[in-house]
């Protein structure tokens, strides 16, 4: 979610600060929106704060802090699309899932027309 419309170099510092402050979803669920806004501010796009809050709240209430393990459950979360779901399933859960970002789509369009 942090990488959406933002370069990886910009995200790295914010990512480190966010997960130092909130190392797990339970501590993030207790975060105040103002504090999240302060941490995420350098990335711009103020919607990120509400997106993080909505996802954390839903994972807390619907899944008892357990991150869903299926693409269907993940993409049902607010702000989580196919790319985030695929990356999470592949990297965090070690599943063989596809990850297609805008760069891959552009490459295929150029190659295959």
Give the pLDDT confidence of 32-90 residue by residue, as tens digits.
989 988 999 888 877 778 888 899 999 999 999 999 999 999 999 988 999 999 999 99
At 59 the pLDDT is: 96
pLDDT digits (tens, 9 = 90+) for 16-33: 999 999 999 999 999 998
Q: Is the dihedral of CA 21, 73, 77, 104 positive or negative?
A: positive
Phi, psi of 6 (to 5 degrees): -145, 145
Q: Return the structure tokens found at 91.
A: 């990297």
**Cβ atoms within 10 Å, residue 1:** 20
Confidence of residue 96 (pLDDT cuts 50, 70, 90): very high
Of residues 99 and 49, the one with the higher pLDDT is 99
Q: What is the Cα–Cα distance from 40 to 79, expressed in whole angstroms?
A: 15
Domains of the chain plus CATH, in order, are 1-66 (1.10.340.30), 68-113 (no CATH)
């Amino acid at each position: 979610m942090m990488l959406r419309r933002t370069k990886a170099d910009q995200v790295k510092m914010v990512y480190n600060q966010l997960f130092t402050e909130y190392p797990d979803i339970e501590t993030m669920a207790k975060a105040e929106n103002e504090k999240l806004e302060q941490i995420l501010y350098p990335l711009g796009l103020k919607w990120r704060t509400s997106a993080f809050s909505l996802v954390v709240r839903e994972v807390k209430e619907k899944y008892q802090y357990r991150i869903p393990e299926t693409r269907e459950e993940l993409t049902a979360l607010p702000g989580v699309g196919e790319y985030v779901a695929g990356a999470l399933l592949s990297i965090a859960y070690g599943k063989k899932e596809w990850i297609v970002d805008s760069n891959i789509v552009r490459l295929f369009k150029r190659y295959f027309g």
